[in-house]
A and B are shown apart, each in its own frame.
Chain A
Amino acid sequence: MIALAPRTRLLVAAVLFLLFAALPFVAAGTDDHFLVITATRVMVFAIAALSLDLILGYGALVSFGHAAYLGIGAYTVAILSSNGVSDLALQMLAAVLASAVFALVTGAISLRTKGVYFIMITLAFGQMAFFFFVSLSSYGGDDGFTLQARSTLMGTALLENDRVFFYVTLAALVLLFLFANALIGSRFGRVLTGTRENPLRMQAIGFTPFRYQLTAYVISGCMAGIAGVLLANQTEFVSPAFMTWHRSGELIVMVILGGIGTLVGGILGAAAFLMLEEWLAIFSEHWRLAMGVILVLVVLFTRGGLTGLLRRLLGGRA
């Protein structure tokens, strides 16, 4: 576990967010519209990875079904907008509620188990959600469902503009990061981290770990649900493919790649993973081979992922 000092964490995050904010200007200068779209996708997955890092890094709860919330968020958009509710804020609210209910029920059951069994039971719930949406034939079943348009922002079609959508996504990422950061620094966050280190001791000094872990699990699910809402809007398409176990695995990979338990690691990992995907795909249709090799090498030769690397570059002061 690579612990970043809170100030370093904020500093790295600020640099990252400023880089993101400048991107559309770079893209306008080089006439590279694709860059904005790719960067939006990176930020959407950064939100999902951030939400996973919250429970994985700080609660040691390895959810292998986290992509389910991407799907729940995305399908909330599809279901609401095809029934006439196209406002983004309302859709976000509904997605958060739906994610919270799913996380509360499945989390309460999953938290009875530990370690590998927890990983597998969250996977089971993820698969249940996947198959549920596969069988939802009125919304395309296996083939997915194409949205008529993006959600509306206070009654306007502003989100149709990719640049506006980019900044809305960035705003969501920044707000959720600050929220997660505050949560980790709060008493709640310290109990959660304490439980990660030693649940028995936390119990002995009078806390109920289960309640804190479940709350964190629900919060994390809600954040990933928001990422799902944004993902559906970006692709203007929803599909059960958003929530395969493979996607859940990729989210875990993003978090580990970036550095567990650092919050910024999730963002870095999502960026690295997706950019690597884009970049490798230029060279060969068999880019997955290279991607796999890189992942294996990262595990074998770095400790603490990209954040660990960053930390060493900063001379271990961070």
Chain B
Amino acid sequence: MTNLLLLQALNGLQFGVLLFLVAAGLTLVFGIMDFINLAHGVLYMVGAYLVATFAGLTGSFWLGIVIALPVALVFGLLLEVLIFRRLYDRSHLDQVLATFGLIMIVNEGVKIIWGAAPLSVPMPDLLSGSVPLVGMMQYPVYRIAIIAAGLLTALGLYLMIGHTRIGMLLRAGASNGKMVSALGVNIRRLFMIVFGFGAMLAGFAGAMIAPILSVDPGMGESVLILTFVVIVIGGIGSIRGAFIAAILVGLVDTLGRTFGPILLRMVLDPSAASQTGRTLAPMLIYILMAAILFFRPAGLFGRKS
């Protein structure tokens, strides 16, 4: 039982850091420019497809990632220049409509280029084994690598945002974009940097997860909704909030699916418990979100508007 708990906690942590990588860019975009980008999930998907392609071409997962990241960055910047910068001054609804259209374009574009069938990315040999955890239990090295990469990125972001000049501008921009702009900072350029960087982080998350998940045209959408849940729970614009919320959502979702039915069996008969467990497990994070917003309408680290 303790082993299972540890195993699932690690899986939850891995899921959480992945969500954080996608959420970090989205929450800054949202916080600084007040821009609802439904298309953020496609950047994650594009990252996965790019690594699948470049790893296939070069025969090396590592080279694949090294090439995929700048390409994801360029793709993000291209979207910013072509579409997004025309939408900052528009209403949230216009942004929803345009980015919804963009999802359709990119999803269909991916199907045209790579086909609708899922692709698989071979795991790099270096990370393909497992390590003993406690006693008899083994844990895949690759998942540990994802956790490590995610935590390192989070640490890097923390240092950048807390201790550099650009980080200071980001924090100020997320709190009060108009004021920062009035102080003579080119907030549009700042935003372009953030947007490109956020696209790259989301692409990185997609690239990292590609070897343990099949790469398919719908993968961006499932992660998008979870990412929104994360940034809303954390409080829009707050990187710290996004990190805590991402880990929380990852753990609650993973542990809920495993231990929900076990806990329910203590109060219900087995068949009712498994039925109820199956019903409740996917709803858990949404229940969590509704509960948190009920008590803190602007999220855990959000500012009251």
Contact = CB atoms under 8 A, between A and B. Distances in A.
A315 B232 CA distance: 43
A196 to B, nearest CB: 13
B290 interface: yes
B286 A128 contact: yes
A253 B228 CA distance: 19
Interface string A291-302: 111111011100
A131 B283 contact: yes
A120 interface: yes
Contacts of A125: 286, 290
Contacts of B67: none
Given A123-B228, A296-B101, A249 B38 contact: yes
Interface stretch (A2-10, A29-37, A109-117, A147-155): A109-117
Contact of B108 (A132, A249, A288, A294): A288
Nearest to B289: A124
A295 B297 contact: no
Interface string B264-305: 000000000001001100110011011001100111001001
B36 to A, nearest CB: 7
Nearest to A244: B221
B290 A116 contact: no
Nearest to A305: B97
B97 A121 contact: no
Indicate the member of B103, B112, B286 with the most A CB atoms within 10 Å.
Answer: B286
Interface in A118-136: 119-121, 123-125, 127-128, 131-132, 134-135
A288 B104 contact: yes
A245 interface: yes
A248 to B, nearest CB: 11
B108 A292 contact: yes
A2 to B, nearest CB: 12
Nearest to A297: B101
A245 B93 contact: no
A134 B282 contact: yes
Given A131-B283, A295-B98, A289 B104 contact: yes
Given A131-B279, A300-B86, A116 B293 contact: no
A170 interface: no
Contact of A112 (B36, B101, B106, B294): B294
Interface of B: 30, 36, 38, 83, 86-87, 90, 92-94, 96-98, 100-109, 111-112, 221, 225, 228-229, 232, 236, 275, 278-279, 282-283, 286-287, 289-290, 293-294, 297-299, 302, 305
Given A116-B232, A249-B96, A289-B108, 4 more contacts: A116-B92, A127-B283, A135-B279, A299-B90
